[in-house]
Amino acid sequence: MGYRIAFASTGDFIDQHFGSARCFQVYDMADGGNNVYVETRTAQAKCQGHCEGGFDSLLRVLLDCDAVFVSRIGQSAAEFMISRGKRVFEASGKIEDILAELTKGKLLDKEPEQTNERDV
């Protein structure tokens, strides 16, 4: 089974907090470890600090994504995304390294937790 994954990033590294993210790098992960860059999606950053609510615009940008990797995400934002069927992870590092780890570890094949998934 393949997955579509978004990384809150302006380039090659996860470097953005979910609520203030302006760019998401979107990749398709296919069986066999074939990872394909799809596109960069832009978003209207909702938060400039602590934020509660108003995540509908980000959900629309990420609607076809199965999982989202961000540098940080607040509890209310994580709960919002999880309640709408999205997996959310806090992570740091290069996107290509995280994709390689995902391919090896089958992390996305596990059942999602009902709380914030952190520290990949």
* Total Cβ atoms within 10 A of residue 15: 15
Q: pLDDT tens digit string along 13-54? A: 999 999 889 999 999 998 777 899 999 999 886 665 556 556
Q: Is CATH 3.30.420.130 the classification given to domain 3-104?
A: yes
Longest CA–CA separation in the chain, Å: 40
Does residue 8 surpass a pLDDT of 60? yes
Rounded to two decimals, the pTM is 0.84
Q: pLDDT tens digit string along 88-118? A: 999 999 999 999 888 887 666 656 554 445 4
Does residue 120 surpass a pLDDT of 50? no
Pairing of strands 87-90, 13-14: unpaired
pLDDT confidence of residue 114:
42
Pairing of strands 67-70, 3-8: parallel
- Give the C-alpha distances (Å, rounded to integers) separating 56 from 81, 94, 95, 100, 103: 9, 27, 25, 30, 30
pLDDT confidence of residue 82:
96
Question: Rounded mean pLDDT of 44-66?
Answer: 78
pLDDT confidence of residue 47:
63
Nearest to 38 by CA among 70, 72, 3: 3
Question: Rounded mean pLDDT of 61-66?
Answer: 96
Domain boundaries, the chain: 3-104
pLDDT confidence of residue 71:
96
